[in-house]
Amino acid sequence: MKVAFFRGAALHPLPPGKSKQQDVRYLDIYEDRPFDEAQFSDWVKQASLLQGENM
């Protein structure tokens, strides 16, 4: 599964997956590979505090 953080460049540490868009970062989650739940949870908490896009 690929998780997109639309303002991922503002997260610390940066999620590992790069994007063509400067601010976007990705995290690939695989069923058969270790998954750092604590780090993922921290990124989600950080992302929830970022200002969103005005539409």
pLDDT, one tens digit per residue, over 11-54 is 999 999 999 999 999 999 999 999 999 999 999 999 999 988 77
Interacting residues of 22 by C-beta distance below 8 A, sequence separation 6+: 9
Q: So where are the chain's domains?
A: 2-48
Tell me the HSE value of 54 on the side-chain side, using a 13 A CA sphere. Answer: 0
Per-residue pLDDT, 19:
97
Whether pLDDT at 7 is above 80: yes
